[in-house]
Chains A and B, each alone.
Chain A
Amino acid sequence: MSKIVAIAFNTFKEAVRNRVLYVLLFFAIIVLLGAWVVSSLAIFGADKIVRDFGVASINIISVLIAVFVGVGLVYNDLDKKTIYTIISKPISRWQFLVGKFLGLLLTIVVNILFMTFFFLAVLYFRDYTSEESMTSAIMTAADGTYRNPSGAETLMYYVGSIFKSLANSILNVVSLGFYSSEVTAGVMRASMLTMLEMTVVTAFAVLFSSFSSPTLSAFMTIIVFLVGRANEDLYYFADLIQRKAGGVEALQGGQALTYWFSLAASHVSPNLAVFDQREAISQFMPVEISAYSAAYALVYAGCVLAIATIVFNRRNFK
């Protein structure tokens, strides 16, 4: 176990040195700030737009991190031959793979936490500086009439809001979303679901990079993610084709091929819709993390890593 942990931490150290990670994080910050700007242009539903956009961005950036940072990690060890001195130590190949997987997952989780923290701070700050909040806080005189705050007063209010936003944002993240306000409800939970989703995606990234080049691995991991997201749709699509034709037996040629392909894809690919709570976020409903989704992520990732081990166990290291 301690050997797996040693590999995981070293992998983390390696991953956080990857420039791609910082490019993606920078991109995330731009996008999350952009969500705010864009929403302020909306005539109505601004709150909804910001949240939907932000949650979706965190999700997509996490996938990109898993893909572009993840696929290089195992490959680099093979390419640079660092694997020689690791596998020759009293450590099994599966331990190496699991260590790599955990290190990568740790990297992604830390980054999701960072992005979520940042996005929450944006949401809080946006709320504190909204017209209603400002009006009740500094633009109302003692007798209830409007008053014009001084420049210093306004500045103080903004600075105070930044600190309050950061503090609340930390509390929200640390309490795993229990501590939240109306504007931030569900965001941390959605990020936690993204972490579970990334457990599955990362396992695939490790699987692919254990036998193919980074480019190909990245491509395949993205395919798995997209198909996984469309998992349920594929199933209904297959069902629809079959019902239109009037039963499986009636299917012919290309139709039959499409049917079986969609059906197979929906069964083999992970059902990532399990981790998708965009609907709830959008409706300002509570975001649930079911035991089922957690178990699904762990079991699925475990199976993928088992396959990766089987592939990896037979490899000659060039």
Chain B
Amino acid sequence: MPPVIEIKGLTKVYVQDFIGTEHGRIKIRLKDRKRIALENLDLNVEEGEIFGLLGPNGAGKTTTIKILMGLHFQSSGSARIMGRELGDNSVKSKIGFLPENPFFYDYLTGSEFLRFYGQLYGVDSATLKRRIPELLEKVGISHAGDIPLRGYSKGMLQRIGLAQSLLNDPKLVILDEPQSGLDPFGRKEVRDLILQLKEEGKTVMFSSHILGDAEMICDRVAILHKGRKIADGPMSDLLSTRIDEYEVAMTGPSDALLADVRKTARRIVERRSEFLAVFDEETAANAVARRLLDGDGKLLSFTPRRESLEGYFIREIGDKRAQEERSPGA
């Protein structure tokens, strides 16, 4: 099956206006007018998966999404959605989109707003009549359908934004930072909603700079940093290929065992009568645990430490930064 989103060599260079205004003052820019926001990005999103576009602020996530939605034009490279060129109306009618920090016409009530956007999707009014209350319910603001959007909190706007992205019962849903502005409870609800969308057979691509949100639900992720992709793949691959460590906590090991542990462990920490050993190798850790269970001491805990995406992320970007510092201008 062809990928739902297919991005090849996508590059975006922002050229700032020669004369612009900044904080109400006219500013003339002679230097630094070009900024590479996205460099040679290759990416595929397959049907039915939840795809996370991750990276810190300024990584190029929003730029990628804006190009996909036809709001910005790429400098070079290409992208196709469902095998069609970007901006094709027949494709747009199968996509739901929530922009970053969305703002809507605040004089409309929640229901009026959804009706208006439903009309833009070309959804007939009978269907809208049924679907609007359903969607308000789904995003948890069914009480607010008759309130003008100007009375909505940031979290409610985010929710009505999610509702509008589902008006057309889309095949593909693209969400830019859907969890921003929500409290931990709201974040969980959005996670659940994304999982529900997947169950309904939709493909979901969303961006986040908060990895905890992505970690639990993404089938695959791509990690961007300064416009470049530094990793991508299934969540489990990204995590398991990274160095895992095994932590064995024990008390009263025999001298022989302790000597062996000192030889095989990467690190050993001693606190009163307790020892904490960290192993790189699973087999070495297992062997120590087995001997402890066989009476060579007492096993307190055995913890395989999977590196979290967060840690991975910090390390990868840290590496990149270090490299750049070593070879400036590269």
Interface residues of A (CB under 8 A from B): 2-3, 6-7, 10, 13-14, 17, 80-92, 213, 314, 316-317
Contacts and interface: CB of A to CB of B under 8 A. Distances in A.
A91 B97 contact: no
Interface residues of B, number: 30
B117 interface: yes
Given A17-B107, A90-B93, A92-B89, A85 B117 contact: yes
Contact of A90 (B66, B89, B99, B102): B89
A196 to B, nearest CB: 29
Contact of B92 (A13, A83, A84, A89): A89
A48 to B, nearest CB: 44
B149 to A, nearest CB: 11
Contact of A316 (B72, B122, B161): B72
Nearest to A13: B107
B312 interface: no
A85 B70 contact: no
Contacts, number: 76
Given A14-B107, A92-B89, A316-B72, A86 B120 contact: yes
Contact of B120 (A3, A13, A213): A3
Nearest to B120: A89
B185 interface: no
Top 9 A-B residue pairs of the complex, sorted by shortest distance between their CB atoms: A90-B93, A6-B119, A89-B120, A90-B92, A90-B89, A84-B99, A88-B97, A316-B72, A88-B69
Identify which of A17, A83, A84 gathers the most chain B CB atoms within 10 Å of its CB.
A84
Contact of B71 (A84, A90, A213): A84
14 contacts: A2-B119, A3-B122, A10-B105, A17-B107, A84-B99, A87-B70, A88-B71, A88-B95, A89-B93, A89-B120, A89-B121, A90-B122, A316-B71, A317-B71
Interface string B74-103: 000000000000000110110101110111
A91 B89 contact: yes
Contacts of B117: 85, 89
B203 interface: no
Contact of B105 (A2, A14, A90): A14
Contacts of B66: 84, 316-317
Given A88-B70, A89-B92, A317-B71, A2 B103 contact: no
A85 B118 CA distance: 12
Given A3-B120, A6-B116, A81-B102, 17 more contacts: A3-B122, A7-B120, A10-B116, A84-B69, A84-B97, A85-B104, A85-B117, A85-B164, A88-B69, A88-B97, A88-B99, A89-B120, A90-B120, A91-B92, A92-B89, A316-B72, A317-B66
B105 A6 contact: no
Contacts of B93: 89-90
